[in-house]
A and B are shown apart, each in its own frame.
Chain A
């Protein structure tokens, strides 16, 4: 059965800390892996990863995919209170289905 598992489920850190969020997957016919950030509303797109070992970077956020070990990580450096959100990982398979993980809830305290 196809599945996407995120860890940890929840995380509380202080401003300035660096966090690493994990996403492992077992999905047949993998096409891409996506990261989203969800605050109190709709998820917003962060990254799309299709190739192993190529880091995607946007400001303090970065992500990388390992297609051999079937996982991805999302790193956030120098965290700010505005980074508090649920971070969702989704895997797209051929056949045009998305599989979302349950998300990691990140709380950044001042």
Chain B
């Protein structure tokens, strides 16, 4: 089954403790992206990647890092999480050219206390 898999689904952590949210897709998509979704603000892009070793900042990259060492994986790293990073995170992938629609992962609900 074609899918984007995120882990974990839920995570509660403490301020400053490094964490990684994994994302993997099995569709051989070139394009992958991370979003956060907050009430009243919609989906905001954090980082995206056009292909292996190619990453770019989205609208809200501060406090996040990503890597794309393999085509299928695009982990999101929070080196020192803060409470304002409490949010619902989605990983998504797409073929290129874009516009044919993302396939989204199921989401990761992160709470930083």
A residues apposed to B, CB below 8 Å: 31-32, 34, 36, 41-45, 48, 50, 88, 90, 92, 96-98, 100-103
B residues apposed to A, CB below 8 Å: 31, 33, 35, 40-45, 48, 50, 58, 90, 96-107
A34 touches B99 (CB 8 A): yes
A43 to B90, CA, bound (A): 9
Beyond known contacts A43-B43, A97-B45: 15 more, CB 8 A cutoff: A32-B99, A42-B107, A45-B101, A45-B103, A48-B99, A48-B100, A88-B42, A90-B43, A96-B50, A98-B33, A98-B45, A98-B98, A98-B102, A100-B42, A101-B42
- Given the known A-B contacts A88-B42, A97-B58, A101-B42, are A42 and B90 also in contact in the complex, defined by CB atoms under 8 Å? yes
B98 touches A100 (CB 8 A): no
- Given the known A-B contacts A42-B104, A97-B48, A98-B33, are A50 and B99 also in contact in the complex, defined by CB atoms under 8 Å? yes
Q: Which residues of B contact A102 (CB under 8 A)?
A: 40-42
Shortest A35–chain B CB gap in Å is 9
Q: Which residues of A contact B33 (CB under 8 A)?
A: 98
A6 to B33, CA, bound (A): 22
A-B contact pairs, 19 of them (CB 8 A): A31-B97, A31-B99, A32-B98, A34-B99, A36-B101, A41-B107, A43-B90, A48-B101, A88-B43, A92-B98, A92-B99, A96-B31, A96-B50, A97-B58, A98-B33, A98-B102, A100-B35, A100-B42, A101-B42
A41 to B108, CA, bound (A): 10
A91 to B41, CA, bound (A): 16
Shortest A90–chain B CB gap in Å is 8
